[in-house]
């Protein structure tokens, strides 16, 4: 099996982001509030970064799964029999339930999965708001499928089916579907899963089927008397994908620093997210947002100027060009330029995030962009002498510089809820 997924990653982009773009435009035209610019652009930035990391991590995951299937499968199954897809689907959905539940039960796994839950609106954008390292933590619970004789080709087919379903159920447009709600994980059930309301936390882990939650006692219906409020208890005061992807790791580190015994250090990493060392004060360990009731909670939404939004969108377009070039030339471009462009991509995503946070930034983020881009142009000049690539790179440098000059007007910022000063500095 060909383990180069770079073309698939490029082709996935329009299917990933296209519907989100269309719905965002419709949302704006109809003056609805389902999609916010800052939140949607952050979701898209995280999604593109996730695709890049997935390309690398999938190589190892597919290799491990295929090796287990070839060497250690317990039974021989006819991979051409259509029924194997039914069997594989049920097995995958069952494994997904436990995988998902483990990601809520184990701190280190929650550090990865929490990225998906930090979205404070519920729309298709949240469906692609997935941690950079998801492929690294997801694969282990699916290895039993290889042992049961399900080939990687069949596994990938059912995983794509689950992924499409997961993408579609992130919506508020379908309120209740009484018949489907009995068997399937519907938008209503998944809204419950994304809520910060006490009664809804750690409920409805199912993938396509909701029957596993009903069997194992984790099912909760959406109640009219308790409207869903989306997000996590400790909301993150930043739109930077790098901050969002690393924030909970800081919590784990804080727990380890407060630990007084080796066992507490272990628990800091692997215990449930709500666990704290004996020396930790729950009131001061978490930010003030954890104490805001669902009734009073408002999404993090600093107000920025229209000019700032346009410059952020242009910067995101530059990121898409970088990503497409990287994926299209993956495996041939070489380690040095791939590293430079990857650093540039992730720096641009962070740069965009702090701009959308409404922070006053100096010239240093743009200087880093120009230095990284110039390094790539130098490499091209020294190694490939590709005039088109060099010219396009210089063009992007000019666009980025002009974009920064236009942005320089100070944006107005308006916090939607109080943020601890210490956490605000962390976001920068």
Q: What is the mean pLDDT of residues 189-210?
A: 96
pLDDT of amino acid 423: 38
pLDDT-based confidence at residue 382 (cuts at 50, 70, 90): confident
Q: Using CA atoms, how far apart are residues 352 and 45, in angstroms rounded to an integer?
A: 9
Residue 184's SS3 state is: strand
pLDDT of amino acid 3: 52
pLDDT of amino acid 284: 84
pLDDT of amino acid 1: 54
Q: Using CA atoms, how far apart are residues 162 and 373, in angstroms rounded to an integer?
A: 38
Is the per-residue pLDDT at 34 higher than 70?
yes
**Least confidently predicted of 17-26, 163-172, 343-352, 356-365:** 356-365
More confident residue, 21 or 425: 21
Is the per-residue pLDDT at 276 higher than 80?
yes
Q: What is the mean pLDDT of residues 95-114?
A: 96
Q: What is the mean pLDDT of residues 237-252?
A: 92
Q: What is the mean pLDDT of residues 27-37?
A: 89
Is the per-residue pLDDT at 353 higher than 60?
yes
Q: Using CA atoms, how far apart are residues 65 and 70, in angstroms rounded to an integer?
A: 9
Is the per-residue pLDDT at 132 higher than 50?
yes
> Which residue is listed with tokens 């308006």?
414
Counting DSSP H helices and E strands in the chain, the numbers are: 19, 0
Is the per-residue pLDDT at 128 higher than 80?
yes
pLDDT in tens, 318-331: 999 888 888 888 77
Q: Using CA atoms, how far apart are residues 157 and 178, in angstroms rounded to an integer?
A: 29
Is the per-residue pLDDT at 363 higher than 60?
yes
Structure tokens at 113: 């999965």
pLDDT of amino acid 8: 66
Over the chain, what is the mean pLDDT? Answer: 88
> Which residue is listed with tokens 């380890």?
256
Cβ 149 vs Cβ 69: under 8 Å: yes
pLDDT of amino acid 421: 35
Is the per-residue pLDDT at 218 higher than 70?
yes
> What proportion of the chain, given as a percentage, has pLDDT over 90?
61
More confident residue, 411 or 114: 114
pLDDT-based confidence at residue 107 (cuts at 50, 70, 90): very high
More confident residue, 6 or 168: 168
pLDDT of amino acid 2: 53
Structure tokens at 222: 């959406």
pLDDT in tens, 42-82: 999 999 999 888 877 888 889 999 999 999 999 999 999 99
pLDDT of amino acid 267: 96
pLDDT in tens, 167-184: 999 999 888 888 999 999
pLDDT of amino acid 383: 84
Q: Using CA atoms, how far apart are residues 424 and 221, in angstroms rounded to an integer?
A: 36
Concatenated DSSP letters of 373-392? HHHHHHHHHHHT--HHHHHH
């Amino acid at each position: 099996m060909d383990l180069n997924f770079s073309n698939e990653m490029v082709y996935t982009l329009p299917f990933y982001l296209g519907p989100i773009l269309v719905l965002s435009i419709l949302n704006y035209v109809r003056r609805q509030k389902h999609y916010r610019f800052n939140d949607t652009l952050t979701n898209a930035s995280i999604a593109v970064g996730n695709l890049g990391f997935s390309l690398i991590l999938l190589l190892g995951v597919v290799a491990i799964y295929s090796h287990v299937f070839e060497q250690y499968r317990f039974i021989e199954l006819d991979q051409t029999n259509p029924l194997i897809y039914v069997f594989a689907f049920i097995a995958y959905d069952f494994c997904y339930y436990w995988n998902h539940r483990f990601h809520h039960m184990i701190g280190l796994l929650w550090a990865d999965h929490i990225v998906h839950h930090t979205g404070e609106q519920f729309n298709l954008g949240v469906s692609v708001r997935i941690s950079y390292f998801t492929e690294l933590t997801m694969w282990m619970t699916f290895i039993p499928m290889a042992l049961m004789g399900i080939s990687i080709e069949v596994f990938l087919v059912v995983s794509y089916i689950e992924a499409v379903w997961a993408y579609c159920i992130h919506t508020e447009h379908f309120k209740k579907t009484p018949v489907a709600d009995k068997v399937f994980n519907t938008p209503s059930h998944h809204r419950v899963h994304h809520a910060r309301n006490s009664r809804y936390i750690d409920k409805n882990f199912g993938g396509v089927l909701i029957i596993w939650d009903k069997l194992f006692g984790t099912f909760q219906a959406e109640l009219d008397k308790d409207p869903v409020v989306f997000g996590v208890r400790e909301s993150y005061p930043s739109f930077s994908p790098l901050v969002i992807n690393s924030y909970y790791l800081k919590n784990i580190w804080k727990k380890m620093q407060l630990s007084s015994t080796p066992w507490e250090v272990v628990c800091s990493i692997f215990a449930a997210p709500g666990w704290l060392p004996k020396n930790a004060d729950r009131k001061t360990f978490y930010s003030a947002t954890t104490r805001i009731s669902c009734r009073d909670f408002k999404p993090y939404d600093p107000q920025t100027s229209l000019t700032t939004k346009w410059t952020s969108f242009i910067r995101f377009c530059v990121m898409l060009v970088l990503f497409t070039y990287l994926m299209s030339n993956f495996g041939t471009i070489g380690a040095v330029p791939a590293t430079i462009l990857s650093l540039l991509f992730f720096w641009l995503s962070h740069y965009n995030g702090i701009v959308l946070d409404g922070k006053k930034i100096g010239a240093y983020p743009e200087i880093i962009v120009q230095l990284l881009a110039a390094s790539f142009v130098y490499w091209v000049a020294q190694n490939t002498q590709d005039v088109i690539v060099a010219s396009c790179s210089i063009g992007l440098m000019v666009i980025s510089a002009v974009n920064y000059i236009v942005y320089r007007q100070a944006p107005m910022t308006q916090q939607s809820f109080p943020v601890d000063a210490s956490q605000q500095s962390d976001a920068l």
